[in-house]
Amino acid sequence: MTWLITGGAGYIGAHIVEAMTEAGERTVVYDDLSTGVAERVPDGVPLVVGSTLDGERVARALTDHEVTGVVHLAAKKQVAESLERPLHYYRENVEGLRVLLDAVTAAGVPSFVLSSSAAVYGTPDVDLVTEETPCVPLAPYGETKLAGEWLVRAAGRAAGLSTACLRYFNVAGAARPELADTGVSNLVPMVFEKLTAEEPPRVFGDDYPTPDGTCVRDYVHVVDLAEAHVAAARALRASPGRDLTLNIGRGEGVSVREMIDRVTALTGHGLAPVVTARRPGDPARVVASADRAAALLGWKARLGVDDMITSAWGGWLLRHPEAARG
């Protein structure tokens, strides 16, 4: 098979391309490079520069590269920005997916894996979130991910498309420094940015109903996440007609304060965090049950939080050598 990876030049996408390639799968990257980096695409992997809103270009890419499966990651992903620009998020994340699915079904591509998010759950009042937990997203970002799942499942039923919707929890870490996250919208790089500037990291609210008052999240290493995509892709190929919806997480909660303490300890920076106001759309606790992924894919996260922090720090130091202590 040949897999088209939309957003394959991005942080998560590049790890999936590498994992798929190492597993012997042929890949093609489709990316508009608005946030992706062309240098992340491995030698020998074709790169098609384009938007998922460009149906003709998508269709040509599917045909030119004889694509037989799609992993769709290209999307806007910042919760706060989605509150400010909801129409932009619906256009990019929902209409872009609709255009892509139109081309995929017209070309007869049999398998489709969607990058979804734990944001679809909103504020779940449970210790562990299962795939049956009601979806009540808090912000347009989560709404667009849930609408995307509906589109994928509907297209799958109508066209006989095998589908998998993977709901990511909080992704961190790097396979190697060159592939590390270059953005600062996630907690770990946000802390790195503050420490590099010799400023205290920020905690957005400490009055949540959690043990230490800060938000609790389930962090998963990006290498484990990439391996979950390989497992999902192979499951769809092995059993045509499947319709999977799976949480991808570790099943362990870590609070924001605990995470910051571990970052400062592992990097050698000792600045204590400061507490600021809550951010809109942040639920108190979201921790996965990943039992279904284990049962249906044989997948389980292997790497822990310290692995995530140290590997991400290596990538940060590659671009910010001034952050090194001593």
Query: Which residues participate in catalysis according to the annotation?
Result: 141
The Cα 79–Cα 73 span in angstroms is: 16
CA separation for the pair 145, 150 (Å, rounded): 9
Q: Give the separation between CA 162 and CA 155, rounded to whole angstroms.
A: 10
Q: What does the H/E/C string look like for 116-173?
A: EEHHHHCCCCCCCECCCCCCCCCCHHHHHHHHHHHHHHHHHHHHCCEEEEEEECEEEC
Strand, helix or coil for residue 236: helix
Amino acid at 265: A
- Give the whole-angstrom CA distance, residue 303 versus residue 188: 16
Closest alpha carbon to 182 in 11, 7, 6: 11
